[in-house]
Amino acid sequence: MTIQNDKSLKQYNTFGIDVTARHFATFGSVNELTDLLNYELPSRSQRLVLGGGSNILFTKDVDGLVMKNELKGMELVREDKEHYYVRAAAGENWHQFVMFCVNSNYAGLENLSLIPGNVGASPMQNIGAYGVEIKDSFESLEAFHIEEKSIHHFNANDCEFGYRESIFKRKYRNQFVILNVTYRLNKKPVFNTSYGAIEQELEKMEVKELSIDAISQAVINIRSSKLPDPKQIGNAGSFFKNPTLPASMLGPLQQVHPAIPFYAVGDSHVKIPAGWLIEQCGWKGFREGDAGCHKQQALVLVNYGAATGHQVYQLSEKILQSVKEKFNILLEREVNII
């Protein structure tokens, strides 16, 4: 076990925020994780488990121990007549895992190509894109209870998945370290091309025969054209959730804003694109110093180089306030604030 002191976390978060961890270490096994959890820290010092750093905004230094999850491994654990059951360790890169599944003809995750972050965050956030969410193909996960020092098994019901939500973000927040995730993937693909611009992109690609590889490439093309590469411009993808409202609120909103886009969520609610709300408030392309709102996607806040986490957070506060004033809708941040 090697613990580094006063370690910069700039390379470990996709916003590229330059903060320092008082102590820093990596773990690649349950034994190493246990050793780090047993490591004695000064009173009031925090422990922070860090994955891919793609859904986090550091606003201050971490006065404690940052434990970087580097658990690795991907494998087919079993199969039945209709499904493959594929397990990946939490420290694996998400996109690389999706490519492993696509190349192996394991269908179900292709719409989630090029999402930044690691496998461990996928059930925690119930990540989703282009009409697909993790809960659609989730089978189970193993997680390590920090206080009990024991491994627990969770199925889909246990995880209480919601829109960008799971039990690990609420009831069990900071109580577990996800070790691995098993997905139930299809032998016979169920193609999902109706969401967003996938069908148009497939036509542009001149795809003659639909496949999970083609859908994956279409999603990669779309995301690459719309979203900034964190290696070039610091960001954490979508900063805000799309708000879900009672359907009864839609009529009054349409009277004032006839062009407001929406789509139904069940029989009683609608979802409004947060990016549209933010753009209507004039934030798209806004920049103040090195903190800004991306010029092509208003939902993405960016660090153009030397922005502090506090500056990005303050910009998000201004956006929240302006959307509330204009639409009487309170946005919720998707990114975790530290």
- Residues annotated as part of the active site: 164, 238, 334
- Cβ 23 vs Cβ 64: under 8 Å: yes
Phi, psi values for residue 337, rounded to 5°:
-100, 125
Nearest 10 degrees: Cα torsion 131, 182, 1, 63 = 40
The radius of gyration of the chain from alpha carbons, rounded to an integer in Å, stands at 21
Nearest 10 degrees: Cα torsion 230, 231, 234, 239 = 10
293: nearest Cα among 319, 322, 260, 263: 319
User: What is the C-alpha separation between 272 and 253, in angstroms, rounded?
Assistant: 11
User: CA angle, corner 334, sides to 332 and 338, nearest 5?
Assistant: 105
DSSP code at position 17: -
Q: Which residues contact 62 (CB under 8 A, 6 or more apart)?
A: 9, 19, 20, 21, 22, 46, 48, 338
